[in-house]
Amino acid sequence: MTMTMAATGTSIWRTTIDSALVLVILAILPQVVDPYQTVLLTYGLIMAIAALGFNLLLGYTGLLSFGHSAYFGAGAYLVAFITRDLGAHSMELCIVGGMLGTLIIAAIFGFVCVRHTRIFFGILTLALSQVLWSLAFKFFWVTGGTDGIRVPYASLTLLGGLVDFKGGGSFQRFIYAYYYYVLALFAVSTTIMWVIAHSPFGKALQAIRDNETRARFVGISVRRYRWIAFMISGIFTGLAGILWVPLNGLTTPDILYWPFSGEIVFMSVLGGFRSFTGPIVGAMAFNYLKTYAIASTEYWQLLLGVVLVILVMALPAGIVGTAAQLAAKRGRSTK
């Protein structure tokens, strides 16, 4: 099975040029669209990082996690604890602290989960994420319960204190500054994930996905590779949770609850989990889909459900996968 166009022969230069082009477009967009679209794009980029992390397990390792809300939520709550209890204001500090914390949680949860595959793996990840959810929900004197913990963007600084958001009218400034901040981290994350996916380690994961027994015969330590993939996946999703907090303004147990894990799965399936860029496109698309579904009809849950059903029936390869198939077909017919 082919993972990406790039992996099957398209030159690395082509990928670099394409990515650079996309980045330039993303960088220009806030100058032409209204502020709210910039907010939505920021949400989209953040969710794209989460879905990228998730897809290292699903698309590359063949493990369907139904508990990635745990790492997203852990990252988010760690930011809240760092700002509230340690009084820190630096976003970079929150990122480092949050990622370390998420790594520890992912390491522990992963250690338990990778002993199993398929449905058992899925159920285990789900169960463990619900443990975190119930802790956040029940220990309200620590976590604020359903009220969550407020993290006002105005209390944070970016780039080690160079950019702050004190004073009036700071929300507009925050929107733009934070968009570029997230865009930079998105670019870095995507690059790192691309390198991981195309490294020998990434190839080993794909081998495990395609045939576990054969991979073991080749000498790959299957469980250890899965565990490492699990941790990387958790950190990426955790980073997304960290970046999401200042934008949302508070943490709530909803981001630890299982339907949120479902949303991450939805995004990857929507974009196409068989390709590298699928989860990115899926996360952006889902973000718009849900926002505008809620805004336009009280039957938004129904709408999202119908979309999912259509997707599975008509576009099993997702948006990116289907687009690639169409492009390939057209390429053949013109030859």
Partner 1 sequence: MEQRNVDRRSFLNNLGVTVGAAAAATAIPAMKPASAQTPAAPKGKIPDAPLRLGHMTFLTGPAAVLGEPSLKGHLLAAEEINAQGGILGKRKIETITADEAAGTDANVKELRRMKLSEKIDLFTGVISSGNTPALGPVAEELGALTIFVDGCTDFLWDKAVPNPKFAFRITNIQSADGVTCALAAAQTWPQVKRIAHIHPDYSYGRNAFDHFNIAFSKLVPGTEVVSEGWPKLGTTDFTAHITKAMSSNPDLIVSSVWGGDYVAMYKQALRYGMFNSAKFASTIAFGVAPHAIGKDHPEGVIAGVHANYYFTFPPGNRWPANQRFVEKYYKRWNEYPNFQSDGAYHTLYMYKTAVEKANKLTGGWPEEEAIINQLEGMYFETAAGDLYIRPDNHQGYKDAVTGFSKNVAEYPFQILDPARMITIPIRNITAPPRWPKPGSGHNDPTATYNWIKETWPQVA
Please check whether residue 105 is in contact with residue 71, taking contact to mean a CB–CB distance below 8 angstroms. Answer: yes
Q: Which of 92, 140, 309, 325 binds partner 1 (CB under 8 A)?
A: 140
In the complex, what is the shortest distance from the CB of residue 252 to partner 1, in angstroms, rounded to a whole number? 5
176 in contact with partner 1 (CB under 8 A) = no
Q: What is the footprint of partner 1 within residues 259-298 (CB under 8 A)?
A: 290-291, 294-295, 298
Q: Which of 7, 22, 27, 37 binds partner 1 (CB under 8 A)?
A: 37
Q: Going by C-beta distance under 8 Å and a sequence separation of 6 or more, which residues neighbour residue 317?
A: 272, 274, 324, 325
Residue 263, Cβ density class (10 Å: 0-12 exposed, 13-18 middle, ≥19 buried): buried
Q: Which of 27, 89, 117, 137 binds partner 1 (CB under 8 A)?
A: 137
Q: What is the footprint of partner 1 within residues 50-79 (CB under 8 A)?
A: none
Of 241 and 271, which has the nearer Cβ to partner 1? 241
Q: Which of 3, 43, 279, 286 binds partner 1 (CB under 8 A)?
A: 43
Of 228 and 256, which has the nearer Cβ to partner 1? 256
In the complex, what is the shortest distance from the CB of residue 255 to partner 1, in angstroms, rounded to a whole number? 7
Of 146 and 191, which has the nearer Cβ to partner 1? 146
Which parts of this chain interact with partner 1 (CB under 8 A)?
34-37, 39-40, 43, 137-138, 140, 145-148, 150, 152-154, 170-171, 248-250, 252, 254-255, 290-291, 294-295, 298-301
